[in-house]
């Protein structure tokens, strides 16, 4: 566990760089478990103490960009919501910067859409299978972009609404906000002046996963104004797991930049630190030292021969039982005490038993993104209203039921109560409907989400999202001849299947997106830590192409494209997989079980031993 003074020297060093009279930009190497967030907050606390009055007088602020909304809230809380510090996600920061530039955004978007239309037109013309899935998808995309381009002149003001259930025609998505900001910063002197006049210091967490072109635009701004604008990048290139980041950020650093480093890993035991040092030695020369108080720890590799076609669930239960003995830790017997990491969300959904709810949504891009991030009108309704009400009714918690109803139910609205003669009658009717839901929940352990929604709607207990009302046959909105009709139908079908899942699956899903589940993805746990980790390496089940653990572990040869990319210093599937493997192994605070599913177990064993990742006596063949 990190101690308050553990990173004190680096805090003082970074604070010295952030002297507003003589700023020095920097890239801080902060490997896994190094206490990066604590260091960032400690530096900000010193900034607050030294410069708060000065910032208030000048109207300037310290900008802090973090990767998630949760991280924003945590840093804001630690700074006691000081208005001199603007803490936001990269998308919110960019939108706040560019949203007044409507005309410039419109010109940028026109160029983007025109380029996409030209490319899609060429792809469609070259298609060898005009009725194939790719060709159909390209035609739908082409029609949508052409329609958007035609509507562009009518837009008076753009919007950015990431949580909207159906974006407006003039709205920009995540990617567009970032791309537009990068382009406008590069080409608009005024925007660059606005940036450094507002923010003399901009600190960016997880900088390795921040969009390459945006980082380059910010560096351009800094290099033009080195005495007025200071950038502090916090991160570790080995933990770059999303595409689009600036992979060559550290080589070389811009002129005049500093390169401080945190060497101590405060999270992991000695064995895990040794392992992740060995994993990253193929990528760079950075190493970490375990903390003086670090325990020995344990890491084991379980190689599963897929030629024998064993059930994954049985295998993973056996692994947990063996780990209980190897680690002398009875908590491994309870899978809920173990964080199981999978490569794809659908793998977590199957293990976490919410696949019937989750997988239909993943088939539609917009719904899938919202389901993964937990951010849309429908998902927010499920997580903050429907499931809490179901849980309260099931457990007979009258106080919680009343709290939810007062906050969300139209029955309790002032306008409703104002025009009824007998408010008590309304409450009794609501109680009767709650009793009906209670009966449904008690009668059978398996009932669909839609069954509960019907009773809730009949009693007007909550206001259901429009997408749910469609399935209650209360509203049906389709635009004839619309290019969006097929997408609307897909979304309708996806929600129909998803809402047919049981409320138990909804409970498991809510647990998953709330990070209280025992399952998560390799990409989703960056920045998190767990006492016991089971990392699942399974290319066959993942069905992806961006990552390949078989290639990393020597079970299959590198492709010609991988070899060409490696020779040019570009990214490749094995490189991405090695970085992701580093991230998941470094989550473990006590013990780590790596489960590798493969059809070439002998090759995997030879590779990991030769790489120095695992000794022979740390490998178990399943």
Q: What is the pLDDT of residue 58?
A: 92
Domain residue spans of the chain: 9-90+188-209, 102-171, 270-343+522-621, 358-512
What backbone torsions phi and psi does residue 537 show, to the nearest 5 degrees? -110, 110
Q: What is the CATH architecture of 270-343+522-621? A: 3-Layer(aba) Sandwich (3.40)
Q: How high is the pLDDT of residue 466?
A: 81
Distance, CA of 192 to CA of 306 (rounded, Å): 55
Across the chain, which has 622 residues, the per-10-residue mean pLDDT values are: 61 95 93 90 93 92 87 86 92 93 95 94 86 78 88 90 58 88 93 93 90 91 92 89 73 88 94 96 89 96 87 91 96 92 90 93 82 83 93 92 89 65 75 91 83 91 86 49 51 88 94 86 83 94 80 86 76 87 95 96 95 96 92
| 32, 229 contact by CB (below 8 A) | no
| Strand pairing class (62-66; 261-262) | unpaired
Q: Does residue 349 have a cis peptide bond before it, meaning omega lies within 30 degrees of 0?
A: no
| Residue 72: predicted pLDDT | 86
What's the whole-model pTM score?
0.81
Which long-range CB contacts under 8 A does 474-478 form with residues at least 24 apart? none
Contacts of 464 (CB under 8 A, 6+ apart): 381, 453, 456, 457, 472
Put the strands of the sheet holding 62-66 in their side by side order: 85-89, 62-66, 201-204, 230-235, 26-30, 261-262
> How many other C-beta atoms are found inside a 10 Å radius of the C-beta of residue 413?
12
């Amino acid at each position: 566990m990190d101690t308050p003074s553990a990173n004190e020297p680096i805090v003082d060093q970074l604070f010295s760089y952030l002297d507003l009279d003589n700023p020095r930009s920097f890239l801080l190497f902060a490997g896994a478990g190094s206490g990066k967030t604590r260091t960032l907050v400690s530096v900000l606390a010193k900034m607050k103490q030294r410069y708060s009055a000065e910032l208030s007088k000048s109207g300037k602020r310290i900008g802090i960009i973090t990767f998630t909304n949760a991280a924003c809230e945590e840093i804001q809380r630690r700074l006691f919501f000081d208005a001199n510090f603007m803490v936001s996600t990269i998308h919110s920061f960019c939108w706040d910067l560019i949203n007044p530039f409507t005309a410039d955004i419109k010109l940028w978007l026109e160029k983007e859409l025109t380029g996409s239309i030209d490319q899609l037109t060429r792809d469609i013309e070259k298609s060898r299978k005009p009725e194939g899935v790719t060709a159909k998808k390209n035609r739908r995309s082409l029609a949508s972009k052409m329609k958007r381009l035609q509507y562009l002149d009518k837009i008076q003001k753009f919007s950015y609404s990431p949580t909207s259930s159906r974006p407006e025609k003039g709205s920009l998505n995540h990617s567009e906000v970032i791309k537009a900001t990068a382009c406008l910063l590069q080409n608009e002197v005024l925007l660059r002046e606005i940036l450094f006049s507002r923010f003399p210091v901009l600190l960016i967490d997880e900088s390795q996963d921040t969009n390459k072109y945006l980082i380059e635009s910010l560096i351009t701004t800094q290099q033009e104004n080195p005495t007025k604008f200071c950038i502090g990048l916090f991160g570790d290139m080995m933990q770059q797991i999303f595409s689009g980041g600036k992979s060559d950020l550290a080589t070389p650093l811009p002129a005049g930049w500093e390169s401080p480093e945190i060497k101590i890993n405060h999270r992991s035991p000695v064995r895990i630190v040794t392992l992740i040092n060995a994993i990253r030695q193929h990528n760079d020369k950075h190493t970490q030292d375990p903390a003086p108080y670090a325990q020995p720890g344990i890491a084991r590799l379980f190689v599963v021969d897929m030629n024998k076609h064993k059930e994954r669930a049985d295998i993973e239960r056996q692994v947990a039982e063996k780990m209980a003995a190897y680690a002398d830790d009875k908590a491994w017997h309870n899978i809920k005490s173990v964080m199981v990491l999978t490569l794809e969300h659908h793998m977590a959904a199957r293990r976490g038993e919410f696949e019937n709810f989750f997988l239909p949504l993943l088939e539609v891009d917009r719904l899938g993104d919202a389901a993964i991030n937990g951010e849309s009108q429908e998902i927010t309704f499920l997580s903050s209203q429907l499931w809490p009400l179901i849980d309260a009714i099931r457990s007979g918690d009258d106080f919680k039921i009343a709290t939810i109803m007062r906050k969300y139910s139209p029955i309790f609205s002032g306008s409703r109560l104002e025009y009824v003669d007998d408010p008590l009658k309304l409450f009794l009717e609501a109680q009767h409907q709650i009793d009906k839901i209670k009966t449904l929940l008690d009668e059978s352990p398996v009932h669909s989400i839609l069954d509960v929604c019907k009773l809730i709607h009949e009693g007007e207990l909550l206001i259901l999202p429009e997408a749910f009302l469609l399935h209650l046959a209360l509203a049906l909105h389709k635009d004839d001849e619309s290019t969006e009709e097929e997408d609307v139908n897909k979304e309708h079908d996806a929600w129909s299947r998803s809402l047919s899942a049981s409320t138990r699956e909804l409970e498991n899903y809510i647990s998953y997106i709330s990070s209280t589940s025992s399952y998560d993805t390799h990409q989703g746990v960056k920045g998190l830590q767990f006492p016991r980790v089971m990392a699942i390496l399974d290319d066959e089940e993942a069905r992806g192409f961006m990552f390949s653990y078989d290639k990393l572990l020597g079970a299959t040869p590198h492709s010609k494209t991988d070899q060409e990319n490696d020779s040019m210093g570009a990214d490749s599937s094995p490189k991405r997989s090695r970085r992701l493997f580093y991230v998941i192994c470094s989550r473990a605070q006590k013990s780590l079980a790596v489960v590798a599913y493969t059809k070439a177990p002998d090759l995997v064993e030879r590779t990991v031993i030769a790489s120095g990742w695992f000794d022979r006596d740390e490998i178990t063949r399943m």
